[in-house]
Amino acid sequence: MSQFAVEALFVGCKEGLVLALCLALITAYLRGRGRDPLVRTVYAAVIAVLLASLAVIMVPVSVEARAIAVKMAGTLFGLVYLTALAALYHTAEPKDSGPVAEALHRPAVLGPVLFLATIAYFIPDMAASTLYVSDLQEMAGGGVLVHITAAAGFFFALAAAYAVARTFPLDILRIAAFPQLLLFLALIKLLTGGVRGFAEISLIPSVQSGLMKLVHDAVHQLLVMLQVPDHPILTVSAWNFIAVLFGTTAGLILSLLVFLLPLAFFLRKHFGSPIAVPVGLASGAARRAYLRGVRDDRMLKSLPVILFMIVITLTWFSQRGEGAAQRYAPTPVRLVAESGSISIPIQSPGSSLLDGRIHKYVVQEKGVDIRVLIVKKPDGTLVAALDACDICPPDGYAQTTEHVVCLYCNTPIPVGTVGMPGGCNPIPVTALISGKDVRITMKEIAGKWMAMMIGEGKKGVRR
């Protein structure tokens, strides 16, 4: 058996185990709640997912569609997590059901919702794995062996897990109400992607970057609101201090808090809320037994939450330092202007402007080094900008997965917004982009660089 077939076998086994584990949890929960008819709905959705995954083999799938499938995994994790949080808070302090909850109690609504939710939960991973197996098959030189071994692994794992579940029936209701079930499902998504897989879906880096930008903008907006020009009065030392707030470390810590705090608040409420003892309990022993029962139930129902917090924290630790390590900051390539402009070939030996990475160039004008960056945006177009913004000293930018990051103040800028003017964005420059090269006039970049250097924002900064 080729190495590709062996790998396909493992991929199939993994997907089979994941499916079996999730089905065991979901069906045990539904049966425990006396909602047996809904088990059939879940099975129907799983069959739909399997058929859709098979269809992926038959039809050509674009690179963009693959990227969407990977992104969906992260988005769905977030959705499951947020739904679990909402449900946790509802159970911690039950209120009158709103129209949504009431609608969900109707079988005519709940059935289709469960059907669609099951499909949404399983399909990104299943489709991505199927695509991966197809890639393996291509690498193996065609044939059906790779697909057959993947299918064999899948059904073997499914059957083995089913046998285990039959032998050791799961009493999930002891430890899980609906929100805990969702947390388990989120955990499975997290763990079966592997902790590295979690990094790939960019959940923590995305949250981290978003928070960093939020804090950065809040600082700027506060100073704007106070009508204080920030950079002239704040020295680089002050900025270094402020930058701690939206630096990588703060972003990482904040991203961890975003995940942990809601759960911690839930646990506080869960354990801290007083227990209402029913009036009918006559003896002290009955009262104590009731209190003990409620406390035990609270303890057991908190275990999935605590487990989730532990795994998130471990994942977070595995992410630490990756932000800095993953930054890509190439040394600018020195160019010489010809006929009043610079020309950068789109394809050159060992380099392509279309590779998705930032490309930096430096050119001299009247003894001043002017840096330019070029990057391919997610929409596939190339964009050119100065390697500097209007606000910070021109330290330039590095690149992470989805952002360019200011090397001075650590502000992340989504790659998609490079080319837009203002704020912390790289100062856009007009470029003539043909199929062969990117051409920028010296007048354009020198003018903007000089304007940037004498800008209001640079006056008070000691460099």
Partner 1 sequence: MSFIFLQGVSKDYGTAQALRGVDCSIGRGEWVSIMGPSGSGKSTLLNIIGGLDRPSAGTITVDGADINAMKGEELARFRRNSVGFIFQQSHLIPYLTAAENVMLAQYFHSLPDRAEAVEALAKVGLGHRLDHRPSQLSGGEQQRVCIARAMINNPGILLADEPTGNLDRANTRTVLDLIRDIHRQDGYTIIVVTHDPEVSRWADRSLFMEDGRIVTDEPICR
Q: Which residues bind partner 1 (CB under 8 A)?
A: 283-286, 288-289, 291-292, 295
Question: Looking at beta carbons only, is 231 or 270 nearer to partner 1?
Answer: 270
Question: Looking at beta carbons only, is 296 or 355 nearer to partner 1?
Answer: 296
Distance between CA atoms of residues 345 and 105, nearest Å: 62
**Interacting residues of 286 by C-beta distance below 8 A, sequence separation 6+:** none
Distance between CA atoms of residues 412 and 221, nearest Å: 16
The least CB distance from residue 285 to partner 1, in Å, is 4
The least CB distance from residue 282 to partner 1, in Å, is 9
**Residues 305, 262: contact at Cβ < 8 Å?**
no
Distance between CA atoms of residues 194 and 129, nearest Å: 14
**Interacting residues of 24 by C-beta distance below 8 A, sequence separation 6+:** 161, 165, 170
Beta bridge partners of 376: 382
The least CB distance from residue 399 to partner 1, in Å, is 59
Q: How far is CA 174 from CA 177, 213, 254, 381, in A?
A: 8, 42, 33, 54
Q: Does residue 276 come out as left (phi exceeding 0), alpha (psi in the -120 to 50 range) or beta?
A: beta
Question: Looking at beta carbons only, is 292 or 334 nearer to partner 1?
Answer: 292
Question: Looking at beta carbons only, is 40 or 288 nearer to partner 1?
Answer: 288
The least CB distance from residue 91 to partner 1, in Å, is 23
Question: Looking at beta carbons only, is 40 or 295 nearer to partner 1?
Answer: 295
The least CB distance from residue 403 to partner 1, in Å, is 54
The least CB distance from residue 296 to partner 1, in Å, is 10
**Residues 427, 390: contact at Cβ < 8 Å?**
yes
Question: Looking at beta carbons only, is 94 or 272 nearer to partner 1?
Answer: 272
Q: Which two three-digit tokens encode residue 69?
A: 């499938």
Distance between CA atoms of residues 300 and 9, nearest Å: 37
Question: Looking at beta carbons only, is 62 or 283 nearer to partner 1?
Answer: 283
The least CB distance from residue 274 to partner 1, in Å, is 15
